[in-house]
Structure 1
């Protein structure tokens, strides 16, 4: 009886982790403006892992403000 309870808890924890991963990848895709990925993740939820591993590549944040080039007058 205890084995079934342990199995049930493990399955529920994995399912909860997958739901969190799915929501996290959808939020990440929406924040980055990748709407095609957002729709694909919404339809095909296993794509969320692929998105988080390969497509969510943000450029590193720079501590310097961007330089403005001024034309001589």
Structure 2
């Protein structure tokens, strides 16, 4: 008897919860994809935009609370 044949029907509580949640709320996968696209999937910057962003970045001293006397 193989290792995986003995417990092939096992399903964790977390897996059951996610499966039941997806069954109860149709369209959840599409909303997840849309939310990810909104927050994380950004269009790549052109070279001009990259240069402009780099030039406009403010330089900060290593320890900002130290006053220059």
TM-score by length of 2: 0.29
TM-score by length of 1: 0.28
The structure carrying a bigger helix percent of its residues is 1
Q: Which has the larger radius of gyration?
A: 2
Higher relative contact order (CA 8 A, sep 6+): 1
